[in-house]
Amino acid sequence: MTERVRVTSPRTGETRPRMRWKVSRDIGEQTELGAVYVRSLMRAQLRHAIRTCGLVGLVIVGLPVVFAVLPGIGAVEVVGLPVTWIVLAVCVQPVWIALAFWQVRAAERTESDFTDLVERS
């Protein structure tokens, strides 16, 4: 009786290299999935922008309300200038600068997270 011999390829045990489908490819080829990723990035940035605009609006609306509620503030002078002018000229500018800095940092952080997600997958 003859012995049976099994003939196999030397590559049988090897795993095939898988082509990884990258998110950046979806974005570059403008697939539906890529569009979902880009929309999510844009929504996150829009949320940050709306928050910043809301805070700016609070300051713009809040100061006249404070001045209307406390009309005596307009009569107070410091160094020959009304306090309301000093508040508008000196105190509001740091608020604008802080809000602008916060907005830029939030946008950069969102883009960085998005880039990490795209490069990781």
User: What does the domain layout of the chain look like in residue ranges?
Assistant: 23-120
pTM: 0.65
Decide if pLDDT at 76 tops 60. yes
Could you tell me which of 39, 54, 48, 43 has the C-alpha nearest to residue 101? 48
| pLDDT given for residue 43 in this prediction | 94
Contact 39, 50 (CB under 8 A): no
pLDDT digits (tens, 9 = 90+) for 26-74: 677 777 877 888 888 899 999 999 999 999 999 888 888 988 898 888 7
pLDDT tier for residue 15 given thresholds of 50, 70 and 90 = low
Contact 34, 26 (CB under 8 A): yes
